[in-house]
Amino acid sequence: MVEVTVTPQASLSDRPVQIRVQGLSPSQLVTLRAWLKDEHGERFQSCAFFRADTSGEVDPGKHAALGGSYSGVWPMGLFWFLQPDTLFRRLVKRDVVGSPFHVRLEVFQGIQLGTDPQEQPLASCEAERWFVSPGVQRELIREGRVRGALFLPP
């Protein structure tokens, strides 16, 4: 049975995570896809093609991506190379305190270039990417022409 995991499942957006796919056949060719929807409902996604090792595992931190949104060994590549489905959109988080980005990770058989809704992933999981640690308070600053935010630790 194929399984994809992200460790830790919930983390700050500037912290690395480990992505692992297990239960594949040795040398099996798969596509790893990451996607999320921003606060406006715009979809951002990335993908990378991998060949499983002799034990049937894929680890983007150890195994080189053969192509897709990037190639080579990039442990956080699926997060760093997220691109919008609609041109000229930027991935911006407005509500940094109240909610995380929910990033969906999916594994597909072979090379998958499109987002065919008929295609079922072999496995999937979800990662939460937070921008502020729990307990941090955000104070808006408006003094004269100065605008900003002060983040206070718990």
- 49-66 confidence digits (pLDDT tens): 999 999 999 999 999 999
Q: Where are the domains of the chain?
A: 3-152
CA distance 85 to 36: 11
Residues 6+ apart with CB under 8 A from 124: 4, 104, 105, 106, 107
- Residue 124 · residue 106 · CB < 8 Å: yes
Backbone angles phi, psi at 77, to 5 degrees: -55, -40
Mean pLDDT for the chain overall:
94
Burial annotation 19-46 (CB, 10 A radius, 16+ → b, else e): bebbebeeebebbbbbbbebeeeeebbb
pLDDT value at residue 73: 97
CA distance 46 to 81: 6
pLDDT value at residue 112: 87
Is the confidence at residue 114, as pLDDT, over 80?
A: no
Provide mean pLDDT across the span 137-154: 93
pLDDT band at 116 (very low <50, low <70, confident <90, very high): low
pLDDT band at 46 (very low <50, low <70, confident <90, very high): very high
pLDDT band at 117 (very low <50, low <70, confident <90, very high): low
Provide mean pLDDT across the span 15-20: 97
Specify the range with the lowest mean pLDDT, choosing from 19-28, 90-99, 134-143.
Answer: 90-99
Q: Which superfamily does CATH assign the domain made up of 3-152 to?
A: Acyl-CoA thioester hydrolase/BAAT N-terminal domain (2.60.40.2240)
104 beta partners = 35, 126
Q: pLDDT over 70 for what percent of the chain?
A: 98
Is the confidence at residue 41, as pLDDT, over 80?
A: yes
pLDDT value at residue 115: 64
